[in-house]
Amino acid sequence: MGAVRVGVLGLGLIGGSVARRLAPDHDVRAWDPDPATRAAAAAAGLALASDLGRPDVTVLATPMDALPEALAHWTGGTVTDVGSVKGPVLAAARAAGLADRYVGGHPMAGSERSGFAAADPALLDGAVWVLGLEDDTDTDRWLTVAALVTGAGCRVLPTTAAAHDEAQARISGLPHLLASALAAAGARGGPLATALSAGSFRDGTRVAGARAEFVAALCDGNRAALAAVLDETLADLAAARDALRSGGTVRPLATAGHAARRAWSEPAPTTAVRLDRAAPDLRADLLALGAAGGWLDAVTPAELHGHCPPTHPA
Amino acid sequence: MGAVRVGVLGLGLIGGSVARRLAPDHDVRAWDPDPATRAAAAAAGLALASDLGRPDVTVLATPMDALPEALAHWTGGTVTDVGSVKGPVLAAARAAGLADRYVGGHPMAGSERSGFAAADPALLDGAVWVLGLEDDTDTDRWLTVAALVTGAGCRVLPTTAAAHDEAQARISGLPHLLASALAAAGARGGPLATALSAGSFRDGTRVAGARAEFVAALCDGNRAALAAVLDETLADLAAARDALRSGGTVRPLATAGHAARRAWSEPAPTTAVRLDRAAPDLRADLLALGAAGGWLDAVTPAELHGHCPPTHPA
């Protein structure tokens, strides 16, 4: 695609990485409420402007709790965001009457670090970037954002806010809470436990190094889906505890976990997928692609090119 | 120390690594019941012998469930093991009348891989190696094993079987079960969850890649301590779940986990420690060192040299 006017509001880890990624190819104006962040962004070569002008696409990269207000003040173009939970932002966009301008987004990239100092265009290399596709999403605007994101070297995965949030609870909220619980359990063991800890404890606690406010926003923002997933995991762990108490074995859980990790770490080769941009069921085709774990690599004026794991029924 | 006659029984990941680590400096004879393993070990230069002779130290590196029988047939020298749980082996040693010859051991090293093919002397570089010191442990035999282990470049941490197993539940059993539960929760999310998973899921599930029988042996062998630690963790996670359901926040758990991980990943500098080998309270001194997370680096004829985190009261 040609150069697009892009506004980026919020220059933390993700917003900063996105702005720096898009700046070489597009007309990017960025802003952050923090003067020190703006100074660092200007020093990195970004064009700073409190008035983002009339961008074709505005990327809201503020903290989750500031997104509803940022949306409510929006006045033009297509608006997307990078929030880690999509349901609440979608609801806010609808409440603000912006459902037809809003395309929810979530790049699946992160780091224990935060802030513009940690921003890095390479963080987005080949990253999966969810774009929300609801019944009331404008497909043309969705494709505009998808073209921008694929053009930046990311994989666009189409799904709904509800499906995203359910999956997100499993693969992001839950690992953060388990890491926190493990770190706390280790600390209760005192210096002896610390001295004995090795690789399994190190890797299992890594993301507990994230700031507590980040973890809380990630989890509290997705409370319904995460509580349901925690119910499942509490049941699995309670069954293991009960087996240990009654002379049984944790083997069923170990076996299920081993099979799941193995399937995860040895994905089958993907198949190339091509969709007609003018297909009458394009929305359904895209959602089927995302539900199967597939993604788009490129958006051309006529076609959509992507890849999909072999589970895809097509 | 001079060359010691060492027998190693069992040449899996740990036994194989130990035998290969000790062979250049000591008179090592090794054995494994599996012919293919013996062939691989012989090809790697180890001396194989079904009769281990009359070693000064025998290292039992069989699977946990074979240790009691291996102990019961023991006839000479000092015997140690490398099992990941110490209470049951200590009980078996006492039951076999070998309490004064047995020194429980556990090198804190591992890998997702297993078997002699994965054995690697470098796996033990600087590893913490627990040596159990009970009221009925022979201190001279304990020091013989400690000299062998420190001479191999490992850090000897003195503690009791009970304290080891409690810590082990926190820093090994628990992370393995949490990794399994996380992997299973991700798999229940289907291909979409797999496609969205990134670093937090990858690291949180890594040790679920271990063989299920290994995880089951690790956990089932330490059932009482692990069940108690699971009670704590279930309570932490249930509190987070309840907070999510009631409009609250997971922040208390995230804050505790962050503080714990930070303290773990930024240990304070250690202090050098020197103990008189003939001290009347040597046993108590050693146990105090281990309880503070300290270890021995070297055993000389007169002294014990080690290091300790600043929590050590000495």
pLDDT at A112: 65
Tokens 């062979």 — which residue?
Answer: B23
Q: How far is the alpha carbon of A28 from chain B, nearest alpha carbon, in Å?
A: 27
Residues in chain B within 8 Å Cβ distance of A159: 192
pLDDT tens, per residue, chain A with 314 residues: 678 999 999 999 999 999 999 999 999 999 999 999 999 999 999 999 988 888 999 999 998 788 888 887 777 899 999 998 999 999 999 999 999 999 999 999 876 678 999 999 999 999 999 999 999 999 999 999 999 999 999 999 999 999 999 999 999 999 999 999 999 999 999 999 999 998 999 999 999 999 999 899 999 999 999 999 999 999 999 999 999 999 999 999 999 999 999 999 988 899 999 999 999 999 999 999 999 999 999 999 999 999 998 864 44
Rounded distance, CA A224 to CA A90, Å?
A: 15
Cα dist. A70→A60, A89, A92, B233 in Å?
7, 10, 10, 38
Yes or no, beta carbons of A244 and B267 under 8 Å apart? no
How much is the pTM? 0.88
B contact test, residue of A264, A273, A308 with most B CBs within 10 A: A264
Contact indicator for A16, A41 with CB cutoff of 8 Å: yes
Rounded distance, CA A79 to CA A95, Å?
A: 15
Residues in chain A within 8 Å Cβ distance of B184: 236, 253, 256-257, 260
Q: How far is the alpha carbon of A162 from chain B, nearest alpha carbon, in Å?
A: 12
Residues in chain B within 8 Å Cβ distance of A205: 175, 257, 260-261, 264
Residues in chain B within 8 Å Cβ distance of A176: 200, 254
Yes or no, beta carbons of A219 and B263 under 8 Å apart? no
Give the nearest partner residue to B159 out of A192, A203, A233, using CB atoms: A192
Please tell me which residue of chain B has the smallest CA distance to A195: B293
The contacts of residue B159 (CB under 8 Å, 6+ apart) are A192, B130, B132, B133, B167, B287, B290, B291
Cα dist. B259→A129, A187, B166, B249 in Å?
31, 9, 21, 17
Grouping H, G, I as helix, E, B as strand and the rest as coil, residue B248 is coil
The contacts of residue B120 (CB under 8 Å, 6+ apart) are B17, B20
Residues in chain B within 8 Å Cβ distance of A236: 181, 184-185
Contact indicator for A90, A40 with CB cutoff of 8 Å: no
Yes or no, beta carbons of A233 and B182 under 8 Å apart? yes
Give the nearest partner residue to B219 out of A181, A183, A250, using CB atoms: A250
Please tell me which residue of chain A has the smallest CA distance to B184: A257
pLDDT at B112: 65
B contact test, residue of A177, A266, A289 with most B CBs within 10 A: A177
Residues in chain B within 8 Å Cβ distance of A171: 186, 189, 193, 196-198, 200-201
pLDDT at A74: 74
Yes or no, beta carbons of A192 and B109 under 8 Å apart? no
pLDDT at B313: 43
Yes or no, beta carbons of B171 and A159 under 8 Å apart? no
In 10 A of CB A103, how many CB atoms? Answer: 26
Grouping H, G, I as helix, E, B as strand and the rest as coil, residue A113 is coil
Residues in chain A within 8 Å Cβ distance of B267: 194
Yes or no, beta carbons of B171 and A184 under 8 Å apart? no
CA dihedral B89, B92, B94, B100 (to 10 degrees): -50
Contact indicator for B183, B208 with CB cutoff of 8 Å: yes
Rounded distance, CA B32 to CA B63, Å?
A: 11
Both structure tokens of A103: 């395309």
Q: How far is the alpha carbon of A288 from chain B, nearest alpha carbon, in Å?
A: 10
Residues of chain B with pLDDT under 70: 1, 111-112, 311-314
Yes or no, beta carbons of B230 and A237 under 8 Å apart? yes
* Model confidence pLDDT, tens digit, residues A12-56: 999 999 999 999 999 999 999 999 999 999 999 999 998 888 899
Yes or no, beta carbons of B171 and A201 under 8 Å apart? yes
Q: How far is the alpha carbon of B65 from chain A, nearest alpha carbon, in Å?
A: 14
Q: What is the DSSP string of A188-234?
A: TTHHHHHHH--HHHHHHHGGGGS-HHHHHHHHHTTHHHHHHHHHHHH
Give the strand pairing for B105-107 and B128-132: antiparallel
pLDDT at A311: 63
Rounded distance, CA B133 to CA A35, Å?
A: 59
Cα dist. A289→A135, A162, A311 in Å?
16, 16, 10
Give the nearest partner residue to A186 out of B176, B204, B264, using CB atoms: B264
Please tell me which residue of chain B has the smallest CA distance to A268: B191
Interface predicted TM-score (ipTM): 0.92
Where residue A23 falls (left for φ over 0; alpha for ψ -120 to 50; beta otherwise) is: alpha
B contact test, residue of A114, A128, A196, A232 with most B CBs within 10 A: A196
> Which of B146, B142, B127 has its CA nearest to residue B296?
B146
Yes or no, beta carbons of A195 and B163 under 8 Å apart? no
Number of CB pairs, chain A paired with chain B, less than 8 A apart: 389
Residues in chain A within 8 Å Cβ distance of B208: 254, 257-258, 260-261
Yes or no, beta carbons of A250 and B293 under 8 Å apart? no
Grouping H, G, I as helix, E, B as strand and the rest as coil, residue A41 is helix
Residues in chain B within 8 Å Cβ distance of A271: none
Residues in chain B within 8 Å Cβ distance of A209: 258, 261-262, 265
